[in-house]
Amino acid sequence: MKTAITPLFGFLWILGLPLLVHAQVPDEPIEIQRGVPQFFIDDWLVDNRFAIKYKNNAVVHVAHPPTKHASNPVYAGDSGYVSVARHPETGKFQLWTQVHDWVDKKQGGSTRYAIAYAESDDGLVWTAPNLGLFEWKGTKDNNIVIRGPKNARASGPQVLMTLPEKDKRGFTYVMTYRTGGAGKDHDGIRLAGSHDGIHWDPESELRPKHLHSDTLNSIVYDAERDRYLMTCRAKDRYRRFGDEMIDTGASRRISVMESEELWTEWKESPHALLTPDEIDADQDFNFFYGMPMHHYAGIYWGFLWVFRMNDPIHTELVTSRDGLHWKRAPKRVPLIPLGPEGSWDDGMTFGGPHWIEVGDEWWFYYAGHDGGHDSKERTAAIGLATCPKERLVSLRGPKNGGGVVVTRLLKWPGGDLFLNVAPAGDGESKVTVRISNAIRDPLEGYDHAGCETFAGDSVRHRVRWKEDRSMNELAGQEVRVEIFLENADLFTLTAEPENKEG
């Protein structure tokens, strides 16, 4: 489905001016697709939400950070920014992470970077194979897979997960990473292809952008708009010259570039996207270190690295429907918070650029450090945090009387209605659904009274009415879905085929 963009928005973007419009409003009816979850991370899908006892209650967004795994850290070798994928044929977990080598020089210390590899059958127990491909720290007995042009630097790896086949160029994996110190003809943000994730073809390499953006520069493909977006730092104009802040400016912000093609030189300059605000400033989190991102179900999912100079960094979930207007997490709850004092990840957490779906769970890998950004004594490892699939942000109906979420007009594609719902806390929960028309008249046979009450926890609860009425009967109709929630969290709704198991 193509999303309409207002003329004003398009005009401002073309000129590269500050974007003054806020969240976009979708055209109605919204055409949803079977099998694609519709998220309630924002109010894109919502026409209204209200509590029954509305004076002192409300239906509100609630953040649900994934739970850190008891086995953490799951990978304790030399590590940093991390990207994980599962091989499309074997299902093997494959991990790429940047590794460091502190080099003492007369004028102070410097750091070398390379990209290392590990693999796992279950995503929990990892092996770092001795590959013997590159010399590193004086030996080839290591798991290094990329060192970059002239072996100068390779850092910030991201395996691109959602590429169209034409842009894979016959490779199983395409990675973006950054290099520096190799000369102006090589330095910048680069692409490389691999058939196995271990041997990366140097002949495939291309540099989309000559930019000294010293972070993880994240690229995603948006199939709905047939375009690529890249998050980066605007190092073409900040931290370029001088020693005084008035000259250098602050580069630790999130900027974005757009391109219709991947394997080409990206002509755009970075456009400002996210800057720390007054809530960040209350706790001196005045910098954003980077923002890996993923595109799924029509949504951009950003994993924002929030930085208080020169110590802690944590990861916060931010989301966008167009890649340009972003919504911060409810109450700024970290997606991957720092660990308790003295733990292996009490200094910094860098969330990876995407999750791995394992059964009915989402697995998030992240780099954790036991020291802040300014500490050269810190050590790093890779951790795992998990949650039930799709459950990062909910709309919560209050315990006292409940509340209702009313969707915008949807053009129902056919199939039954499935909800991802769970009790919000102790005590009984209740979920029922009404299907109504444009002015909220209930459709016959689809009211709350005839809906089977659900009080459980399910990532795919099939909604049923008396006489086994099916939403499939409403295929092609314009309807509103009205969901009553009492002490319950609503994460997604999905239109599925009739024979889908609930």
Q: Would you state the CATH architecture of domain 7-63+393-496?
A: Sandwich (2.60)
Tokens representing 249 are 């400016």
Asked if residues 337 and 65 have their Cβ atoms less than 8 Å apart, the reply is yes
Confidence of residue 3 (pLDDT cuts 50, 70, 90): very low
CA-to-CA distance for 192 and 383, rounded, in angstroms? 26
Q: Does the structure show a pLDDT above 60 at 57? A: yes
- Say which amino acid occupies 104: D
**Residue closest to 475 by CA, chosen among 38, 31, 45:** 31
What is the percent of the chain where pLDDT is above 70? 93
**Residue closest to 169 by CA, chosen among 202, 139, 153, 192:** 192
Q: Does the structure show a pLDDT above 80 at 109? A: no
Residue with tokens 């972070």: 215
Q: Does the structure show a pLDDT above 90 at 2? A: no
Q: Does the structure show a pLDDT above 50 at 37? A: yes
Going 111 to 112 to 113 to 116, the CA torsion angle's sign is negative
Q: How confident is the model over 332-365, as pLDDT tens digits? A: 999 999 999 999 999 999 999 999 999 999 999 9
Q: How confident is the model over 430-461, as pLDDT tens digits? A: 999 999 999 999 999 999 999 999 999 999 99
Could you state, in order of their start, the residue ranges of all structural domains in the chain? 7-63+393-496, 67-388
Q: What is the DSSP string of 263-317?
A: SS---PPPEEEE---HHHHHTT--EEEE--EEEETTEEEEEEEEE-TTS-EEEEE
CA-to-CA distance for 123 and 82, rounded, in angstroms? 13
Confidence of residue 11 (pLDDT cuts 50, 70, 90): very low
CA-to-CA distance for 147 and 365, rounded, in angstroms? 23
Q: What does the pLDDT read at residue 500?
A: 54
Q: Do domains 7-63+393-496 and 67-388 have the same CATH topology?
A: no
Residue 446 C-alpha from the chain's centroid: 36
CA-to-CA distance for 276 and 287, rounded, in angstroms? 6
Q: How confident is the model over 213-267, as pLDDT tens digits? A: 999 999 999 999 999 999 999 999 999 999 999 999 999 999 999 999 999 999 9
Q: What does the pLDDT read at residue 414?
A: 96
Going 429 to 490 to 66 to 358, the CA torsion angle's sign is positive
Asked if residues 294 and 355 have their Cβ atoms less than 8 Å apart, the reply is yes
β-pairing verdict for 410-411 and 30-31 = parallel
CA-to-CA distance for 356 and 210, rounded, in angstroms? 31
Q: How confident is the model over 132-185, as pLDDT tens digits? A: 999 999 999 999 999 999 999 999 999 999 999 999 999 999 999 999 999 999
Exposure string (b/e) for 11-20, b if CB count within 10 Å is 16 or more? ebeeeeeeee
CATH of domain 67-388: 2.115.10.20
Asked if residues 73 and 368 have their Cβ atoms less than 8 Å apart, the reply is yes
Which of 2-11, 77-86, 184-193, 390-399 is predicted least confidently?
2-11
Q: How confident is the model over 260-314, as pLDDT tens digits? A: 999 999 999 999 999 999 999 999 999 999 999 999 999 999 999 999 999 999 9
Q: What does the pLDDT read at residue 13?
A: 40
Going 140 to 146 to 148 to 149, the CA torsion angle's sign is positive
Confidence of residue 375 (pLDDT cuts 50, 70, 90): confident
pTM equals 0.93
- Enumerate residues 6+ apart whose C-beta is below 8 A from 491: 39, 40, 390, 391, 392, 393, 394, 420, 421, 422
Q: What does the pLDDT read at residue 5?
A: 38
In DSSP terms, which residues pair with 116 in a beta bridge?
A: 97, 144
Q: Does the structure show a pLDDT above 90 at 102? A: no
Asked if residues 51 and 60 have their Cβ atoms less than 8 Å apart, the reply is no
Q: What does the pLDDT read at residue 104?
A: 67
Please tell me the chain's helix, strand, coil percentages from 3-state DSSP, rounded to the nearest 5: 10, 40, 50
**Residue closest to 301 by CA, chosen among 109, 37, 114:** 37
Average pLDDT value over all residues in the chain:
93
In DSSP terms, which residues pair with 411 in a beta bridge?
A: 31, 478
Q: Mean pLDDT over residues 468-495, rounded?
A: 97
